[in-house]
Amino acid sequence: MIKVALPNKGVLFEPTLDLLTGCGYRVAKSGGQLSSIDPENNVEFYFLRPGDIPVYVANGILDVGITGKDFVAEKRTDPRLLLDLNYGGSRLCAAVPEDSPVQSLDELPKLRIATSFPHIVRAYFEGERVDLVELEGAVEIAVNLGIAGAVIDVVDTGSTLRQAGLRIIGTPLFVSNAALYAHPGREVADEVTTLRNRIEGKLVAYEYMMVEYDAPAAVLPEATRITPGIESPTISPLQAEGWYSVKAMVRKREANRLMDELYRAGCKGILLTSIESARI
């Protein structure tokens, strides 16, 4: 049985549970529950602080974990990256009071900085002396409470910083998203391979849709150019002579535009359907 670490709270919690449930795993958390067993898939899930997951996985206490790339970088651990996931996007940004004369990141080391990511910050300003106040959370209030002149914190929309009277300066110091990690060497275990394959299949399903349509023989070359599929489209003759049924996978973001092109080309009965999971 493999042991898998999952975030116990925060913006990564719900999307991670939704992803794994969609992959056929039985995983749920209620109250202060710390673990959950899925005997059918031979997996034991552990609900941990996202920032602690890299330590457990890198040291082999747990086999696999899902957490943010920023937490891995901050802990300076080296679990093996298996998959980038399509959620949990965030930016580590610097912010100063609205009336501060500071306009760029180059000026930031002259201020005292509050952050929950001291190692990433020191790495960014390598070679420069930075005065840091290390906090576990609610970093944005540090300036108003007078213990720092600037903050470096995880930003989604930036509304929390604006509400605290702060403005973002410069570009992000670190860009993060959720990812699947394994202890080096454990990624070859059958259950880990299955987990990775299932998640890859779900990620494909997020990105693609299936388009089906009927095309007359005269427009079939143009139609299949519009929807070439992954390897090639599936083409079957219809009962009506000179007509063909075509099925192909298309990228979700392009699907409606492709429908328009197929219709203009002379195709009929054009259908778009979602994909639950896929292996390509």
The mean per-residue pLDDT over the stretch 211-221 comes to 97
Residue 166, C-beta contacts closer than 8 angstroms, at least 6 positions apart: 95, 96, 97, 98, 140, 143, 151
Q: Which residue ranges form the domains of the chain, and what is each CATH number?
A: 2-87+177-188 (3.40.190.10), 90-175 (3.40.190.10), 207-274 (3.30.70.120)
What are 86-96's pLDDT values in tens digits? 899 999 999 99
What are 1-42's pLDDT values in tens digits? 999 999 998 899 999 999 999 999 999 888 778 999 999 999
pTM reported for the whole predicted model: 0.87
- Kindly tell me if the per-residue pLDDT of 157 is higher than 80: no
d(CA 255, CA 259): 6
d(CA 102, CA 95): 10
d(CA 211, CA 209): 7
Question: Residue 183's closest CA among 75, 73, 80?
Answer: 80
